[in-house]
Amino acid sequence: MNNYSRREALKLMGGGAIASMAFPPSLFGKDAEKKHYMTLSFDDGFKRSSVLTAGIYEKYNLSACINVIATAHHPDFVLPNEYHNWPIGDFDLWNDLKARGHEIMMHGYKHANKNELPFSEGKDLILKCIDYFSKKLKGFEPKESIFNFPFNASTLELEEWLPTQVRAFRTGGPPINPLPHKGQTKLTCSAYGPDNCEKHLDGEIDKLLKQPSGWLVYNTHGLDDEGWGPMRSQYLDDLLKRLTAINTVEIIPLGKALSAFK
């Protein structure tokens, strides 16, 4: 295994030990107590933020949900906006994090806004993304994957077509989804930016916990000063510590949440 990201995490986190991955058993059975599911869906694949995020999740024996742009590590990649102007990870890093138990999913071929493109062009870019991931990400299975729309911008045509290619997709919409179930292909999320998203995220979590049940999907990006709507790495650490102490809450990536339902 390439241990690059593990070494980097130790440096970035001040040398603290990273817990080994020991994920809890599935809690979808009839005796499940978890009624509030939460997914922080980290987009864009900033190198430093992704390494830090993985290390923080590992402290709590959790799997992070990281969504990356297929070609963003290429030298000729054209930034879609100024919020992408930080070093990006490559597939050596993504394969290492995946081997450590984290979820690496698609965030587009080149981060194009599919809502601004003809259906044929949007479809072609998604197929290119699937093909690239199939070649570069070890163990990638399109029908087990989640496509996370750039800008959370989808179209009705793409939403109708995508389930023929992938397990599910994430787009913009109400942040609280029904609990994972068979046939669930559309996941909606909220986000906040360009400034720090912590206050907004706290509010969304409060809304979730006030409901009898639900699945909060929240789209975030980088840590500290990276990306659109960042959060502090210390905030993420404190948040996971607080939420893992609540016995009704399960923090889970999108693909794992749906994996029990074929």
- The predicted-structure confidence for 137-155, as pLDDT tens digits, reads as follows 999 999 999 999 999 999 9
The closest of 86, 85, 133 to 107, measured between CA atoms, is 133
Identify whether the C-beta of residue 45 lies closer than 8 Å to the C-beta of residue 5: no
Confidence of residue 262 (pLDDT cuts 50, 70, 90): low
CATH class name, domain 32-258: alpha beta
Identify whether the C-beta of residue 64 lies closer than 8 Å to the C-beta of residue 244: no
pLDDT digits (tens, 9 = 90+) for 186-213: 999 999 999 999 999 999 999 999 999 9
User: Residue 178: CB partners within 8 Å, gap ≥ 6?
Assistant: 184, 214, 215
Classify burial at 113, counting beta carbons within 10 Å of its beta carbon; exposed 0-12, middle 13-18, buried 19 or more. middle
Structure tokens at 147: 């496509």
Residue ranges covered by each domain of the chain: 32-258
